[in-house]
Structure 1
């Protein structure tokens, strides 16, 4: 997933704007390395140190930068309001790599991390969640959706719905709306995100009596040529193609299906959110594509409109659901900290206990859903919505 030049320039300007005060604790500033700038340092008083890791460069950069910018907007709003809760934000680049995410996490810990946004993508999220658990630093990830991110860690929570929820809802939607009679699935077999959704979809599809006629896979090293997978689906008469994957691979599948003259209904997941902003992609090929997302940037909700306006000013494009999840994470922290009467001088371990208590009992209304609650296992209860792309915009089905 390529990051556009406009995002690079906007991100640089936003980081420069927000990095006014710096860290006065004497520790080396990790924001100078790995592409993660200290952000939201315009706090009017003592601030909670909040940080996270994500792919700010590399193939998945659109997701990391979206979550980072969304979080920056929330921090800027909260700090400008001048209340008791203030934040100092630091995002580090993990390039969607587990080992680099661990290194980035350790840099944040050296910086004085008190509350974490975890990792943006699932494999780094799995790696760093173990460190969060060992160090007793509470984490609320905006988008690392694999169940393994939270399993066995009482202090790691998710803002996004977990992968099984997407697989089940996709199967239910296809069945209830009669979107296809013969289903083909293409999934990435070396990615926990894609396989997690696929496995749940497969089980639910069988339960609902959906006719899955083709199941083919690809890997990171083979995600440029989908001719074999497309031919298999087409030859077996599949009229709906389910794509549980990120949008970089999905965009190539749409292009190659068009070249092959194969025009099934396409149904995707939240990883496809952002396909309309992919540099060099003919967005007309996405017309009619359905996908799952908890956030619709074209909503008439006033809070969403305000967020979209700020995001466009910062990044030069519409926000995706990863941006909205990053924004919601910061506001959920604010709500929990206020309710717990927490103060910035508390150590991370004490804040961890307070956040566990709050997140397992509170209800949160955000951009990505209202009435959200969390289980003791850290999973959020909200469901995604199904949208269809019409005239280059999301329309809720």
Structure 2
């Protein structure tokens, strides 16, 4: 395997995990009762208070609705980090407030304004990309520094000097996925099923096709769907089968991916499946036969099975509180809080400073700092002045109902 080239490509810009993103977001979500283990307090009251003077950090995400796996994971991951830091009793203390945006841009804007009225000094942006595009523009205007755990579209950060990403960007997910499939020899004939009304999916698809052509990867066809046609994939799967595809690339989220796996099984069609960070969450889909996900591969920046002390501690706390294994969105949000802590310490910021002054200090710090977190690898995480992150991806495969590292 040409691992060196994979990592260098991934670290050229912001590459996951859109795992749920995630990263990117779909077009809409419908509010419904939170999933099991969700916060029992209303979203508008979903805050945690530090023991002393604290920096006010806000974020929006789908805490209810179809994309709630992403939003709840980010909220919970950030909360664990905040609780750890506050328990230390150091100079840096945080108060966290996550608002429910049900993965709808208009709702995210209202949620952002609620957080602004609350006194938000630093933002975690929005969990999904399309709401993230809207709220990041507001943060740019208001000069509120933003570090999003999973808003992976380039449009979230483009032209906004105070908006940064912790997650891989969509185009670089496409680039690294093509490179990984090629280097590992995972498929001889590749077919792509993608969502053409979603910036997350289209961004990954376009870059994947470009890189596949450069590598000589045999892409035998592609088929699209939209939000309104995301329940029946018989036509797309039939096209892939007739084209002789032995691997289907899915730059989409876990909900339609679970339907594709189910319908492929009903057809007796069993190619390999390779996804991106938005697939992270497929094992938690209600009513889905998770045995059908056996062998599914994806790229993600986080491995919950890692044995280093930091990962073990995080996974243990998450499982104790929520009775489930954290995905990459939880880990990215956890890393966001600790990266902000590091930057605030380095710049000497204090909670009595204005959001604008904190913003300017963090803009000066992030492009020059290296952060070691749960995601990426031991080489550390860095950012360029555009807000794009550089960190290494991990190849994962689902085995026995769990994610297992491929490298």
Out of 223, 230, 254, the position equivalent to 1:247 is 254
Q: How does 1:150-189 map to 2 (within 5 A)?
A: 150-189=157-196
Structure 1 length normalisation: TM-score? 0.92
Give the corresponding residue for 2:138: 131
Gaps of 5+ in 2: 1-19, 21-28
Q: Which secondary structure state, in structure 1, belongs to the residue aligned with residue 390 of structure 2? A: coil
| Higher relative contact order, structure no. (Cα contacts within 8 Å, ≥ 6 residues apart) | 2
Q: Once the 2 structures are TM-superposed, how far is the Cα of residue 222 of structure 1 from its aligned partner?
A: 0.7
- Give deviations 1:187-237, integer Å, cap 9, x for gaps: 000100000000000000000011111110000111000000000000110
Structure 2 length normalisation: TM-score? 0.90
Give the corresponding residue for 1:28: none
Give the corresponding residue for 1:387: 396
Distance 1:39 1:220 in 2: 33
Distance 1:185 1:368 in 2: 27
Give the number of aligned pairs: 376
Q: Residue 78 in 1 paired to residue 85 in 2? A: yes
Q: Once the 2 structures are TM-superposed, how far is the Cα of residue 36 of structure 1 from its aligned partner?
A: 4.2
Comparing 198-207 with 385-394, greater Cα deviation is found at 385-394
Q: Residue 362 in 1 paired to residue 369 in 2? A: yes
Q: Once the 2 structures are TM-superposed, how far is the Cα of residue 304 of structure 1 from its aligned partner?
A: 0.8
Q: Residue 374 in 1 paired to residue 401 in 2? A: no
Give the corresponding residue for 1:311: 318
Give the corresponding residue for 1:273: 280
Comparing 312-321 with 52-61, greater Cα deviation is found at 312-321
Q: Once the 2 structures are TM-superposed, how far is the Cα of residue 39 of structure 1 from its aligned partner?
A: 2.8
Give the corresponding residue for 1:45: 52
Structure 1 segments of 4+ aligned residues over 6 angstroms from their partners = none
Comparing 346-355 with 274-283, greater Cα deviation is found at 274-283
Is the Cα contact below 8 Å between 2:65 and 2:102 reproduced in 1?
Answer: yes
Distance 2:294 2:34 in 1: 24
Distance 1:296 1:383 in 2: 12
Is the Cα contact below 8 Å between 2:34 and 2:63 reproduced in 1?
Answer: no
Q: Residue 64 in 1 paired to residue 71 in 2? A: yes
CA RMSD of aligned residues (A): 1.6
Out of 283, 296, 299, the position equivalent to 1:292 is 299
Distance 1:38 1:222 in 2: 35
Give the corresponding residue for 2:112: 105
Quick one: structure 1 residues 188 and 63, their matched pair in 2 at CA, closer, same or farther if it must change by over 3 Å? same
Give the corresponding residue for 1:11: 38
Q: Once the 2 structures are TM-superposed, how far is the Cα of residue 37 of structure 1 from its aligned partner?
A: 3.3
Comparing 384-393 with 350-359, greater Cα deviation is found at 384-393
Gaps of 5+ in 1: 16-31
Is the Cα contact below 8 Å between 1:247 and 1:271 reproduced in 2?
Answer: yes
Q: Once the 2 structures are TM-superposed, how far is the Cα of residue 9 of structure 1 from its aligned partner?
A: 5.1
Q: Residue 263 in 1 paired to residue 290 in 2? A: no
Q: Once the 2 structures are TM-superposed, how far is the Cα of residue 372 of structure 1 from its aligned partner?
A: 0.5
Distance 1:170 1:193 in 2: 14
Distance 2:91 2:51 in 1: 9
Distance 1:9 1:53 in 2: 20
Give the corresponding residue for 2:223: 216
Q: Once the 2 structures are TM-superposed, how far is the Cα of residue 7 of structure 1 from its aligned partner?
A: 6.9
Distance 1:267 1:142 in 2: 23
Is the Cα contact below 8 Å between 1:161 and 1:383 reproduced in 2?
Answer: no
Give the corresponding residue for 1:93: 100
Q: Once the 2 structures are TM-superposed, how far is the Cα of residue 340 of structure 1 from its aligned partner?
A: 0.6
Distance 1:97 1:377 in 2: 25
